[in-house]
A and B are shown apart, each in its own frame.
Chain A
C-alpha cells in the first residue's frame, strides 16, 4: 500500500476520517477519526479502535483535509426548498416485497 503524502508537519500525524461497513450493512458509515502517520497505519488503527475485528468488515480511511463539506450557513438555500414539496419525493409508490433496502 503506498503511503499518502503527509500534509501536516513532521511532528504531527495527520487526521484521518474512518468509514466502516459492518458485516450485514449496506454502506460504509462514518464512525470517527484518528491520527496516523500514513494510510496503512490508519487502516490498522481504525481496525483496533472502531471494528473490534469483526470479520467481513470493510474499512475506508481518508485524509480529513481531502473532504470538502457543504457550508452550514447556506443550509437554507441548499436544503429547505425540498421540505414542503412532497411532489418532489418519490413516496407514492407501493414497492414490491422483492425489492429490499430502498
Chain B
C-alpha cells in the first residue's frame, strides 16, 4: 500500500518559492548523510548544524508555498508526497555528497547563492518571505564563511587535498550555471516584487567565488555551456534514489502522525 502523490499548482509565485525551499530541503538531506561520518567530531556537529538551518529554512518556505498554493497541503505533504518531477531544486543540490572537498565546494556555492538571495528577499513585497529571509540571512552568512575557510584550507593544504579540490570543482562547475539561468518564473517574481531574478545574483556570486579560489590558490575550471534543469523538474538519476529513501516511511504508512 502506498500513499498517493500530491501536485502543486503552476503559479509562478509558488514555483519561485519552491525552487528555493526545495534547494534547502534537498541539500539538508545530503548534509544529513554526513552525520557520524565527518573527518572530525567538531565538523560533524558543524555539518549537522548547517543541515538543521537549511531544514528550518525549507520548512518555512514549504509551509508558506503550500498556503499560497491553496490546496490544503502542508510542509510534510510537499516534502514527502511530491514526486521527482514536482521537485524544483537545481540539480546541484541533489548530487551525492561525495568526499569532504566536494561537500565543502558545494556548500560554499549554495551558501553564497542563498546569502545573496536572502539579502534581496528581505525586501520582498511578500511579508512572510521577507521575514523568513531576515532569519535565514544570518545562517547563510555563517555557512558561507565556514565553507570558505575549508576551501582555503583544502586548496592550500596537502597535494592530496589540493587534488581533491580540483576534482570537486571540475565536477561541480557545470552545475553552477543553473543557479543563474533566468526564466519566466524569475520574470514574474521581479514584476510582483516577490524576489530577484536569479540571474541578477551571478556577478556578485562569481566575485565571492573568485576571491576564495584566489586565497586557496585554485584555478577556475573551463566554462561549460551545459545548463541543468532541476528547477523545471528535470533531475539527475540521483534524485529518485534520494526521494525513495526520504519518503519511504510516509509512503508506506500513509497519514501517520509523528
A and B physically associate: yes
Which residue on A lies nearest to B146, using beta carbons?
Answer: A44
The total of chain A residues at the interface (CB under 8 A) is 12
How far is it, in angstroms, between the C-alpha of A13 and the C-alpha of B153 when the chains are bound? 14
On whether the beta carbons of A41 and B149 are closer than 8 Å, the reply is: yes
Indicate which residue in B45, B149, B153 contacts A48 across the interface (CB closer than 8 Å): B45
B42 near A34 with CB under 8 A, answer: yes
Q: Given the complex, which residues of B lie within 8 Å of A59, measured CB to CB?
A: none
Flag A13-48 by CB within 8 Å of B: 1 or 0 each: 100000000000000000000111100110011001
Tell me, in angstroms, the Cα distance from A34 to B153 when the chains sit together: 19
Known: A44-B46, A45-B46, A49-B45. A35 touches B149 (CB 8 A): no
Q: Is B207 an interface residue (CB 8 A)?
A: no
Q: How large is the interface on B (under 10, 10 to 19, 20 to 34, 35 or more residues)?
A: 10 to 19
CB-CB under 8 A from A45, the residues of chain B are 42-43, 45-46
- Number of A-B residue pairs having CB atoms within 8 Å of each other in the complex: 23
Looking at chain B's contact residues, the main secondary structure is helix
B191 on the A face (CB < 8 A): no
Q: A37 to B43, alpha carbons, bound, how many Å?
A: 12
B239 shortest CB reach to chain A, Å: 30
A20-B28 Cα distance, complex, nearest whole Å: 29
Q: Is B40 an interface residue (CB 8 A)?
A: yes
Chain B residues with Cβ below 8 Å from A36 are 42
Q: Compute how far the CA of A35 lies from the CA of B42 in the bound complex, rounded to whole angstroms.
A: 8
Residue among B40, B42, B142, B146 with the highest chain A CB neighbour number at 10 A: B42
> Complex: how many Å from CA A88 to CA B40?
49
CA distance A37 to B42 in the complex (A): 11
Per-residue interface assignment for chain A, residues 51 to 74, with 1 indicating a CB less than 8 Å from any chain B CB and 0 otherwise: 001000000000000000000000
Contact of B49 with A by CB under 8 A: yes
> Which of B42, B142, B149, B153 is the one whose CB lies under 8 Å from A49?
B42
Q: Shortest CB–CB separation between residue B112 and chain A, in angstroms?
A: 17
| Chain B: minimal CB distance from A48 (Å) | 5
Expressed in whole angstroms, the Cα–Cα distance for A68 and B123 within the complex equals 52
- Whole-angstrom distance between the alpha carbons of A35 and B43 in the complex? 11
CA distance A13 to B43 in the complex (A): 14
Contacts of A53 in B (CB 8 A): 49, 142
A44→B49 CA distance, assembly (Å)? 12
**9 A-B pairs with C-beta separation under 8 A:** A13-B40, A34-B42, A35-B42, A44-B149, A45-B45, A45-B46, A48-B46, A53-B49, A53-B142
8 cross-chain pairs, A with B, having the tightest CB-CB distances, nearest first: A45-B42, A48-B46, A48-B45, A48-B49, A49-B45, A34-B42, A49-B42, A48-B42
Given A34-B42, A53-B49, list of 14 further CB < 8 A pairs? Answer: A13-B40, A35-B40, A35-B42, A36-B42, A37-B153, A40-B149, A44-B46, A44-B149, A45-B42, A45-B43, A48-B45, A48-B46, A48-B49, A49-B42
